[in-house]
Structure 1
Amino acid sequence: MEIQQQIIQRINNLEGSFKDYSIRYLVKDAEQFGPYLKQQRLETNQIRKFLDAINQLKTTLAQNNDFSSIETGVVLLKPKLAYAAARQPSVKPLSEVMSKAIDKVEDTQDFERLVNFIESIIAYHKAEGGR
C-alpha cells in the first residue's frame, strides 16, 4: 500500500479528532511521506499559499487563543489545496492527506497537531532535497 493511502487510513481510523494521531506515528509517516512527495516532484513553492495560510492561522490563534477565531480558516484550507492540486498534479497526494487531516481538526490541540504534521512533512521533503 502506498504511503499516502496508509496515512489516510490511519487518519480515518483515529478514535476521535486529529490530536489522537500519535506523535510517533505522525513523525514516522512524515518521514516516509516527505521523500515520497519529492519523488512526485512536489516543490515547496507549489504549496506556498497553503503554508502561508497555516502560518497566518497560527499567528491569529496565538493572538486570540480561541479556536473559533480560526475554524473557518482551517476549513477553507481544503479548497486552497484542491486548487493547488488542480494546477499541479504533484500536489495531489499532499492535498488528499491534508484534507483528511483537516476534517479531523476540531479544536486548538487538533490544529497544533496539524501544524506539527505539515511542518514535519515539509522538513522531510526538504531533507530529501526538495526545494
Structure 2
Amino acid sequence: MNKPTKRIEQKSQPKRDIKSDYRDENNQHKLDITKEIIDTIKGLKGGLKDYPIRDLVKHAQKFGPELKRQRLETNQIRKFLDAINQLKAKLIGNDFSAIETEVVLLKPKLAYAAARQDAVKALNGVMAEAIDKVHSKDDFERLVQLMESIIAYHKAEGGK
C-alpha cells in the first residue's frame, strides 16, 4: 500500500508588481535629477547668470532624457517656448525692465500646462525656480540657455 505523502505547504510570497517597481525607480530618478537642479538653482548667490554653464549643460543632459521617459511632448509646452522666444525677440535693443513682468508671468503659463499634464510637472518645478532667479538681461539669457539645453537633450533622446 502506498503511504500518503505529506504535503509540505510553503508560504507563498506576495507577487511583486514589476510595473510598480519600475514606476517607483523612474519616479525616484526623476525626483533625484529634478531636486538636484532645483537645489543648484536655489543655492545660487546671485541671479541665474551665476549658474555655471557646465553644470547647466550636465543637468540638461540628464533632465532632457528623463522628461522623454515621462512622455513629455514639445507641443505640451509649445506656448511656454513661444513665450520665451517672443520675450527674447522683444529684449533685443531694450532694457530688461521691458520684459520683466512677462518673464514672471511665464510661471503661471507653465503651471497651467503642468496642471493639465503630469509629464510637465518636473519641468514646471525646475523652470519656476529658475524664473525666480531672473532679475536681469544676463539672467534671462541663462534661462533661455537652460530651456534650449533641456529641449535639445529631450529631442536628442527621441522626444517629440
Q: TM-score, normalised by structure 1?
A: 0.98
- Code of the aligned partner of 1:2: D
Aligned equivalent of 1:79? 108
Aligned equivalent of 1:61? 91
Give identity over the alignment, percent.
Answer: 69
State the Cα distance separating 1:125 from its structure 2 match.
0.1
Q: Point out where structure 1 has 5 or more consecutive residues left out of the alignment.
A: none
1:39 maps to 2:69: yes
How many residues are treated as equivalent by the alignment? 130
Three-state SS of the structure 1 residue aligned to 2:135 is coil
Deviations 1:49-107 (A, max 9, x none): 00000000000001x32100000110000000000000111000000000000000000
Q: Distance in 2 between matches of 1:68 and 1:16?
A: 18
Backbone CA RMSD of aligned residues: 0.7
Give the 5 Å matches for 1:1-131: 2-62=32-92, 64-131=93-160
Q: Distance in 1 between matches of 2:155 and 2:138?
A: 26
Greater relative contact order structure (CA < 8 Å, 6+ sep): 1
State the Cα distance separating 1:15 from its structure 2 match.
1.0
- Code of the aligned partner of 2:46: G
Q: TM-score, normalised by structure 2?
A: 0.80
Q: Distance in 2 between matches of 1:117 and 1:12?
A: 15
Structure ranking higher in helix proportion: 1
